[in-house]
Amino acid sequence: MEINEINIKVYILENIPIEQALEDLSKLMDKSFYENEDMKSFHEENMMKNYCFNSLYPLDVKTKMYKEGCIYNFQLRCIGSKLKNHFLKFLSNEYTSKIKVLVCQSKNIPKRPIDRIYSITPVIVKMPGSEKTEYWRNGYTEEEFFEYIRTTSIKKYEVLPEETVDKNLKLFNYAKIDNKKPIAASFKDKKILGDKVTLNLETNSDAQNNAYMLLGTGLADMSPRGYGFVNYQYIK
C-alpha cells in the first residue's frame, strides 16, 4: 500500500464561500473522471474510492470567502499509482465555472510509525439505522460516534486487496472532539454538520497499517467529497 499526496494549485474564477468549497472541488474531481474513459465506471460505482482531499487555503478569515482572481492550494491523497496517474494527467488543467487547475505536483507519504491523526476537514458520519446523513448528536453518544469511526476504518481496510484485520481491533487509545460546536458545511443545497477530531493511535502493526491507509481514504463517510481528511504526526 502506497499513499500519494498531490499538491494542487488553482485559480478562482468566481467567489466561493467557505461552506461551498468542498462541493465545488468535488465537481472538479468528478469532471476529471468523465474525461478518462477508463475511470468513468469507477466514478459511478458505489464503492470505496480510495482518495480524499482537503479544502482551499489560505482562507481570508474576515470574509470567509475564496476570492475571484486569486490563487489557492489544496491537497489530494490517494492509494496506489492508478489514481495518482489519473489525477496527474486528467486533473491538471481541468476547470469548472468556478475553479481552474494550474499545477499538480505529487509526492509519496513515507510509511513510518504514526503517533496521532487529526482532522483538517470535518468528519461526517451516517450512523447505523439512519436512512440519511444526519448529525450524530441527535440520538447517539460520543462513545458511539468514535466506535463508528473505528468500525468504518476497519471496513475500509478490508476492502483493500489481500488485507484482513480483526474486526475488534483497537485503533486508538485516546480520542477527542476538537470543536466546541458543530461545523456547518453545504452539500447539494443542504446543510450538513460535522466535527473535527484527534485520535492517538495504538502502536501495533495492524493499527498502524490502518492509520496509514486513513491518510489516503479519510475518516468515516463522504471522504471523496472532501470530508474526514486528516493530517498526521509521526512518533518522534
pLDDT one-digit tens code per residue, 193-205? 999 999 999 999 9
In 3D space, the residue among 42, 12, 17, 15 whose CA is nearest the CA of residue 28 turns out to be 12
Per-residue pLDDT of the chain (236 residues; tens, 9 = 90+): 899 999 999 999 999 999 999 999 999 999 999 999 989 878 777 778 899 999 999 998 899 999 999 999 999 999 999 999 999 999 998 999 999 999 999 999 999 999 999 999 999 998 876 666 678 998 899 999 999 999 999 999 998 876 788 999 999 999 999 999 999 888 888 888 999 999 999 999 999 999 999 999 999 999 999 999 999 999 99
What is the C-alpha separation between 100 and 27, in angstroms, rounded? 12
As a whole number of angstroms, the longest Cα–Cα distance in the chain is: 50
Same fold, 3-108 and 114-234: yes
Strand 51-53 relative to strand 71-79, pairing = antiparallel
Nearest CA to 58 among 24, 100, 9?
9
Q: Are 213 and 79 in contact (CB under 8 A)?
A: yes
**All three cell numbers of 72:** 489557492
H helical segments located in 93-201: 142-159
Domain ranges (residues) in the chain: 3-108, 114-234
Cell of 218: 479519510
The CATH fold of domain 3-108: Alpha-Beta Plaits (3.30.70)
Grid coordinates representing 212?
496509514
Does the domain spanning 114-234 belong to CATH 3.60.10.10? no
DSSP 111: -
